[in-house]
């Protein structure tokens, strides 16, 4: 996906299950730094923990759902789909 609109693909990681030690496992977005590295980007608001059970999320797809020129993010959870609009 391209969260910040530049030419470098960014990386979104959806959590699937809680860690064995009980620590939270939130979603993570990493912004590509001109092809050299990825930096964690909590400021985009995607670090929500979908959790275990009915809200387990493990599939994500990027597409311009609202046709505004920015890729949005659709995350599958057991309880349904969650759409994160990139405006």
Q: For 23-63, what is each residue's pLDDT tens digit?
A: 777 788 999 999 999 999 988 887 766 655 555 567 889 99
Q: Give me the chain's average pLDDT, please.
A: 84
In percent, the amount of the chain with pLDDT more than 90 equals 39
Instruction: List, as one string, the DSSP characters of 35-82.
Output: TS-EEE-GGGS------SGGG-EEEEEEE-TTSSSS-EEEEEETTEEE
Listed by start position, the domains of the chain span 11-84
How many Å apart are CA 45 and CA 86, to the nearest integer?
A: 10
Q: Residue 87: its pLDDT value, please?
A: 81
Structure pTM? 0.78
> Taking a C-beta distance cutoff of 8 angstroms, is the pair 14, 1 a contact?
no
Q: Closest Cα partner for 16 from 59, 58, 49?
A: 58
What pLDDT, on the 0 to 100 scale, is given for residue 43?
86
Give the mean model confidence (pLDDT) for residues 66-82. 86
């Amino acid at each position: 996906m391209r969260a910040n609109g530049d030419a470098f693909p960014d990386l979104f990681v959806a959590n699937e299950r809680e860690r064995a030690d009980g620590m939270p496992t939130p979603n993570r977005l990493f912004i590509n730094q001109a092809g050299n590295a990825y930096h964690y980007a909590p400021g985009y608001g995607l670090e929500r923990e979908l959790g275990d059970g009915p809200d387990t999320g493990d599939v994500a797809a990027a597409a311009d759902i609202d046709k505004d020129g920015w890729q949005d993010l659709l995350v599958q959870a057991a309880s349904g789909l969650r759409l994160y609009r990139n405006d």
